[in-house]
Amino acid sequence: MASQVLLLVLLAIICSVALASDPSPLQDFCVAVPNSPVLVNGFVCKDPNLVEANDFFFSGLNITGNTANGLGVAVTPVFTTQLPGLNTLGIAMARIDFAPLGVNPPHTHPRASEILTVLKGSLEVGFVTSNPGNRLIKKVLHTGDVFVFPQGLVHFQRNVGHGSAVALASLSSQNPGVITIANAVFGSKPAIPSDVLAKAFQVDENVVAILVNGFVCKDRNLVEANDFFFSGLNIAGNTANGLGVAVTPVFATQLPGLNTLGIAMARIDFAPLGVNPPHTHPRASEILTVLKGSLEVGFVTSNPGNRLIKKVLHTGDVFVFPQGLVHFQRNVGHGSAVALASLSSQNPGVITIANAVFGSKPAMPSDVLAKAFQVDENVIASIESKF
Ligand SMILES: *[C@@H]1O[C@H](CO)[C@@H](O)[C@H](O)[C@H]1NC(C)=O
């Protein structure tokens, strides 16, 4: 009994650590005004009535970064500075280009976990657990592989393929911060101690059948690189369905190392005319980039405005969907389309509006729906019969 109480205390500590990421949004969005003289945590908000689709948009992630430098690496960030709509949403994205033999040297992100997928080439990646273990957990990744770097831990990537390599990373903060270890340790002015690392997750091994927020932790001595790894995001999903869309999730269920880290990834394939229908993620903001084709995307602000903010995206464009808001994507290009989305939760949840409203079991009372949608109950019955 005493050990179970201790366990719960430890789990509570872990939960509070896991929640120590960006603060939750307090409104639909808070588009950054970068040059305001008012100092807040992040940026002050643009007048919501002046907000437009371009505030949630960034273009050019299809452009190769310039790796002509000593390390042979180039990081193209899509943070709040580049995409003002990310302000308060707790998520961001970056493209990383590697020349042959290029190295993204050991660094930490003090405010973010990072989930990374390889678009091209082969990378060796790894991170080091915190004191006292300092274990290196590493793995070689190929196209379509996914790896997660826990918040605050020292990590690196290097190109071990024959040509150049490209990775797409998402981070669980609008402003993850970067501390390059070599620079911070040997180049700081004045010198500061180097032992500022996030605390390790520690838990009793006696953890059977206890419900926690997320999943219980594997014994950290048994943890291996494959726990932080997922393979197959280069494989097109099967879009042969009524909507012409396929979502391939990389959530904590598929990648156990995501547990407590507040981030996840998904590949979305669209057939020609394919639609990812209006849905919400109750627990996550979403940042999406187009790898192939053209998508029309949009989201609707909450009551009373219910404004639709939409935009057509092409390859390399980035768009952000604020937490909990109804949003959709549809293929408006000529062929198939592919997008990569990252979400600010290990388990974002999906509520597809049509299914939730018209397909619930048991059904919502039809007079409630008839009033809500201001149509005849026969219309509701006819729609419900399709679910
Ligand atoms: C990036 O994609 C845009 C369309 O979104 C296209 O106009 C541009 O040529 C592309 N650039 C590269 C380098 O592929």
Answer yes or no: are the C-beta atoms of 173 and 77 closer than 8 Å: no
Q: Which two tokens stand for residue 122?
A: 């082969």
Confidence of residue 80 (pLDDT cuts 50, 70, 90): very high
Query: Is the domain of 225 the same as that of 359?
Result: no
Confidence of residue 175 (pLDDT cuts 50, 70, 90): confident
Q: E-strand spans in 54-153?
A: 57-58, 73-78, 92-98, 103-108, 114-120, 123-128, 136-141, 146-149
For residue 304, whether the previous peptide bond is cis, meaning omega lies within 30 degrees of 0, is yes
Query: Is the domain of 14 the same as that of 157?
Result: yes
312 within some domain = no
How many Å lie between the centroid of ligand 1 and the Cα of residue 326?
29
Query: Is the domain of 361 the same as that of 216?
Result: no
**How many domains is the chain built from?**
2
Q: How long a stretch of residues is the chain? A: 387
Q: Answer whether residue 79 shows pLDDT above 80.
A: yes
215 within some domain = yes
Q: List, for residues 37-75, the tens digit of each pLDDT value.
A: 877 778 889 999 999 999 999 999 999 999 999 889 999
- Residue 261's alpha-carbon distances to 66, 288, 358, in angstroms, are 31, 19, 34
Q: Answer whether residue 35 shows pLDDT above 90.
A: no
Confidence of residue 15 (pLDDT cuts 50, 70, 90): very low
Q: For the chain, what percent of residues have pLDDT higher than 70?
A: 79
- According to DSSP, the residues that pair with 337 across neighbouring strands are 270
* Residues 144, 281: Cα–Cα separation, whole Å: 24
CA angle 266–217–230, rounded 5-degree value: 30
Q: Which atom of ligand 1 is nearest to the CA of 60?
A: 1
How many Å lie between the centroid of ligand 1 and the Cα of residue 149?
30
How many Å lie between the centroid of ligand 1 and the Cα of residue 99?
20
Of 203, 230, 257, which residue sits at a domain end? 230
- Residue 321 or residue 182, greater confidence: 321
The confidence score (pLDDT) of residue 280 equals 86
Least confident of 167-171, 289-293, 344-348: 344-348
Closest CA to 245 of 216, 268, 213, 278: 268
Least confident of 55-64, 253-262, 349-358: 349-358
The confidence score (pLDDT) of residue 368 equals 66
Q: List, for residues 269-322, the tens digit of each pLDDT value.
A: 999 999 998 888 878 899 999 999 999 998 888 776 788 888 999 999 999 999
Confidence of residue 374 (pLDDT cuts 50, 70, 90): low
Q: Which atom of ligand 1 is nearest to the CA of 62?
A: 1
315 lines ligand 1 (CB under 6 A): yes
* Residues 188, 115: Cα–Cα separation, whole Å: 28
Q: List, for residues 198-240, the tens digit of each pLDDT value.
A: 222 223 334 344 566 677 788 888 899 999 999 999 999 999 9
- Residue 351 or residue 266, greater confidence: 266
Question: Which mutation among 76, 292, 297, 314 tests ligand 1's pocket best, with the greatest number of atoms within 8 A of CB?
Answer: 314
Confidence of residue 340 (pLDDT cuts 50, 70, 90): very high
316 lines ligand 1 (CB under 6 A): yes
Question: Which mutation among 120, 294, 315, 318 tests ligand 1's pocket best, with the greatest number of atoms within 8 A of CB?
Answer: 315
Confidence of residue 21 (pLDDT cuts 50, 70, 90): low
352 lines ligand 1 (CB under 6 A): no
- Residue 20 or residue 159, greater confidence: 159
Question: Which mutation among 62, 164, 296 tests ligand 1's pocket best, with the greatest number of atoms within 8 A of CB?
Answer: 62
104 within some domain = yes
How many Å lie between the centroid of ligand 1 and the Cα of residue 291?
11
172 lines ligand 1 (CB under 6 A): no
130 within some domain = yes
Least confident of 308-312, 343-347, 379-383: 379-383
80 within some domain = yes
Region 362-383 average pLDDT: 69
Q: Which atom of ligand 1 is nearest to the CA of 294?
A: 5
How many Å lie between the centroid of ligand 1 and the Cα of residue 292?
10
Answer yes or no: are the C-beta atoms of 287 and 340 closer than 8 Å: no
How many Å lie between the centroid of ligand 1 and the Cα of residue 53?
20
- Residue 260 or residue 204, greater confidence: 260
317 lines ligand 1 (CB under 6 A): yes
The confidence score (pLDDT) of residue 27 equals 83
* Residues 118, 142: Cα–Cα separation, whole Å: 6
The confidence score (pLDDT) of residue 31 equals 93
How many Å lie between the centroid of ligand 1 and the Cα of residue 225?
35
How many Å lie between the centroid of ligand 1 and the Cα of residue 277?
27
Q: E-strand spans in 220-377?
A: 229-230, 245-250, 264-270, 275-280, 286-292, 295-300, 308-313, 318-321, 326-331, 337-343, 351-352
Answer yes or no: are the C-beta atoms of 299 and 381 closer than 8 Å: no
Query: Is the domain of 57 the same as that of 195?
Result: yes
The confidence score (pLDDT) of residue 87 equals 93
Of 230, 255, 279, which residue sits at a domain end? 230
Query: Is the domain of 216 the same as that of 363?
Result: no
Q: Which of 54-68, 103-117, 365-379 has the highest mean pLDDT?
A: 54-68
Q: What is the CATH number of the domain that holds 220?
A: 2.60.120.10
Look up the domain containing 152 and give its range: 2-230
Mean pLDDT over the full length of the chain? 82
Of 197, 230, 263, which residue sits at a domain end? 230
How many Å lie between the centroid of ligand 1 and the Cα of residue 107?
30
Q: List, for residues 83-107, the tens digit of each pLDDT value.
A: 999 999 999 999 999 999 998 988 8
322 within some domain = no
244 within some domain = no
280 within some domain = no
CA 320 to chain centre: 10
For residue 190, whether the previous peptide bond is cis, meaning omega lies within 30 degrees of 0, is yes
62 lines ligand 1 (CB under 6 A): yes
Q: Answer whether residue 7 shows pLDDT above 60.
A: no
65 lines ligand 1 (CB under 6 A): no
Q: Answer whether residue 3 shows pLDDT above 70.
A: no
